[in-house]
């Protein structure tokens, strides 16, 4: 009987001790905040354009021999660009940004015609075809203005200037040079979500000041079309 009494008292004391204590629960450490790049973005474009040249004007003497013909086609270019930049806030109701862009313009120009060779004053005519390969690598600093039109659609304008490296290859020989380069673009932009956007429009290219070596070869200013995409961090 005493054993049962002592057991009951022990259980009562133990229950009281457990009832008076609460287990300690450790809170999980807060997750680290994601790293923000503060409005930086990267993007790229693809486009194409044609440009006239002064190649026919560079013929010695300014004219062909009797019976000779020359047809110089426009230069046709594929245009690729990559850029990195940062948003700068708003001005006159537009989002403003600045970006550095590097491009690569790969082009060629076909030259076809009929040449005459004189043997004892008797002309012999033969067809000929040559191709001039042209490369332009512009490096420019640019500003961009963007304004929302409706929903996810915005309009944009950009302008930039810098230096372009050039190379021209013809008949197994090549010349390298360069010159001042400028551009401006315009078009429409569609925001897929907060990070991704796609856009398309036109790009005006200032090519008059580019040198392709010591022969005086020049391209005319022109307008290109382009499509691009951008990722905002």
Distance separating alpha carbons of residues 138 and 206, to the nearest angstrom: 11
Distance (Å, rounded) from C-alpha 200 to C-alpha 187?
6
What pLDDT score was predicted for residue 67? Answer: 65
Topology, domain 41-60+73-110+132-232: Porin (2.40.160)
Q: Can you tell me which residue has the tokens 């923000």?
A: 36
Task: Compute the distance between CA of residue 55 and CA of residue 207 in angstroms, rounded to an integer.
Answer: 15
Q: Give the pLDDT means over successive 10-residue stretches in the chain (233 positions).
A: 39 44 55 60 98 85 65 95 96 95 97 74 74 96 97 98 95 91 98 96 97 89 98 96
* 3-state SS, residue 24: coil
Q: How confident is the model at residue 65, as a pLDDT?
A: 61
pLDDT at 126: 76
- Secondary structure of residue 14 in the 3-state scheme: helix
pLDDT score at 28: 60
Nearest to 189 by CA among 147, 220, 233: 147
pLDDT score of 64: 65
Domain limits, the chain: 41-60+73-110+132-232
pLDDT for 11 equals 37
Q: How much is the pLDDT for 119?
A: 66
pTM of the predicted model as reported, rounded to 2 decimal places: 0.78
């Amino acid at each position: 009987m005493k054993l049962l009494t002592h057991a009951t008292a022990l259980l009562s004391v133990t229950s009281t001790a457990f009832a008076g204590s609460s287990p300690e629960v450790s809170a999980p450490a807060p997750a680290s905040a994601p790293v923000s790049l503060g409005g930086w973005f990267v993007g790229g474009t693809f486009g194409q354009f044609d440009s006239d040249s002064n190649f026919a004007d560079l013929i010695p003497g300014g004219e062909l021999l009797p019976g000779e013909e020359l047809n110089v086609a426009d230069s046709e270019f594929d245009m690729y660009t990559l850029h990195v930049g940062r948003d700068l806030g708003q001005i006159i109701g537009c989002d403003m940004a600045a970006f550095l862009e590097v491009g690569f313009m790969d082009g060629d120009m076909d030259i076809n015609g009929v040449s005459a060779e004189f043997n004892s004053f008797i002309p012999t005519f033969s067809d000929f075809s040559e191709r001039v390969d042209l490369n332009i690598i512009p490096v420019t600093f640019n500003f961009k203005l963007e304004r929302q039109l409706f929903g996810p659609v915005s309009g944009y304008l950009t302008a930039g200037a810098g230096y372009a490296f050039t190379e021209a290859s013809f008949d197994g020989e090549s010349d390298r040079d360069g010159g001042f380069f400028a551009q401006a673009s315009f078009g429409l932009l569609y925001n897929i979500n907060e990070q991704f956007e796609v856009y398309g429009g036109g790009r005006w290219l200032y090519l008059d000041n580019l040198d392709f070596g010591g022969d005086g070869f020049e391209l005319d200013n022109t307008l290109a079309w382009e499509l691009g995409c951008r990722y905002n961090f």
